[in-house]
Amino acid sequence: MNTSTAAHILVVDDDPDVRELVVEYLEKNDLRVSAASSGREMFELFDQESIDLVLLDLKLPGEDGMQLARSLRERATVPIVLLTGRSEEADRVMGLELGADDYVTKPFSPRELLARVRAVLRRYQVQATLPERDGTRRAFRFSGWELNLRTRRLRAPDGRSVELSNGEFSLLNALCRAPQRVLSRDQLLSMSRLHEAEVHDRTIDVQIRRLRLKIEADESTPVLIVTERGAGYRLASEVDTLY
């Protein structure tokens, strides 16, 4: 499995056997999976990682599953699939009214769960092609890299975290917002200025060189951030946006 490009699923269930079953099955089917046993762990992971979909058990001991779903929906438009018992029809209805995208009843077939997860992910991928919703973007993914806009962290294809200065983050953010487009130095300066003042004090060329040192396999022959002579720079990669 190529974890650098796989959708990232967060499984929230207090039962270790259920967590192990779901994690193992989803990973075998080319998904990246993290697991949490409580609402606290769920929010900690959600704030640290870019999550594509949350599988949430509504019956976590000592916790209000509906409130967790509501709080999660208030934080982001991340897809939510509820895990419920067969007799919990009222909970399923309420969960869907709160903004959950689907539900799976326990005991469930891993195959059915996978099908539901993939279906919800497909719906969100279609929505992501619609006009942008300003201020709701959570992360950019390009060529295996992931730029988390909330934590301002850059994750490499091999999973390691790459430190970025404020100026480097602002510049990479600007490039990701306009993939495959040639941006002049003035355009990059203007787009970056909205976030951090550090770019003002250094030339765009210096920032580009520093970014290349961190994300290019060979800084002398860049393939991600390429120079368009006499015009500016271009992020030569497709970019997926997470909302």
* Res 50: pLDDT: 83
* Res 227: pLDDT: 94
Q: Domain range spanning residue 26?
A: 8-128
What are the phi and psi torsion angles at 103 (to 5°)? -145, 155
> Mean pLDDT across the chain, nearest whole number?
83
Note the helical H segments in 49-88.
Answer: 65-75
**Distance between CA atoms of residues 36 and 50, nearest Å:** 15
Model-wide pTM > 0.75:
no
Q: Are residues 31 and 57 in contact, defined by beta-carbon separation less than 8 angstroms?
A: no
Give yes or no: residues 143 and 174 share one domain.
yes
**Distance between CA atoms of residues 2 and 31, nearest Å:** 9
Is 115 contained in some domain?
yes
Please report, in tens digits, the pLDDT of each residue of the chain (243 residues total). Answer: 455 567 899 999 999 999 999 999 999 999 999 999 999 999 999 888 888 899 999 889 898 888 898 888 877 778 899 988 766 667 777 777 777 788 888 888 999 999 989 988 887 765 554 444 445 678 999 999 999 988 888 999 998 999 887 778 888 999 998 899 988 887 887 777 544 444 443 568 878 988 999 999 998 999 999 999 888 899 999 999 887
Which pair of tokens denotes residue 9? Answer: 């699923």
Is 1 contained in some domain?
no
Tens of pLDDT, residues 144-196: 999 998 888 899 999 899 988 777 888 899 999 889 998 888 788 777 754 44
Find the largest Cα–Cα distance for the chain.
67
Q: Report how many domains make up the chain.
A: 2
Task: Choose among 101, 118, 103: nearest CA to 25.
Answer: 118
Is 58 contained in some domain?
yes
Is 133 contained in some domain?
no
Give yes or no: residues 155 and 236 share one domain.
yes
Cα–Cα distance list, 132 to 100, 117, 158, 178, 192 (Å): 21, 23, 29, 12, 18
Which pair of tokens denotes residue 193? Answer: 């200025």
Query: What CATH number does the domain containing 85 carry?
Result: 3.40.50.2300
Query: What CATH number does the domain containing 172 carry?
Result: 1.10.10.10
